[in-house]
Amino acid sequence: MHYRFLRNNPVVFGADARFPIRYDYPKEFDNTELEEAKYDEQVEQFGMEMLYSFSIV
């Protein structure tokens, strides 16, 4: 499974708060045997950061 949607950063006008979550896009692993594992790692990290962000609002 590929997680290319992660590089899209939507702008939500009128939001009460913004929490920038920066991450390294694992593009360097595209078309390698590590691609899926590296994207999975990034999705897990992103999910944990989102969980943390929502826990403090």
Band (pLDDT 50/70/90 cuts) for residue 48 is very high
Closest C-alpha to 27, from 9, 37, 39: 39
Burial class (CB in 10 A: 0-12, 13-18, 19+), 39: buried
Q: How many CA atoms lie within 13 A of 17 on its CB side?
A: 6
Band (pLDDT 50/70/90 cuts) for residue 35 is very high
Residue 50: its pLDDT value, please? Answer: 87
Average pLDDT over every residue of 21-33 = 87
Band (pLDDT 50/70/90 cuts) for residue 31 is very high
Locate 43 and state its tokens.
């999705």
- Per residue in 5-26, pLDDT tens? 545 666 778 888 777 777 778 8
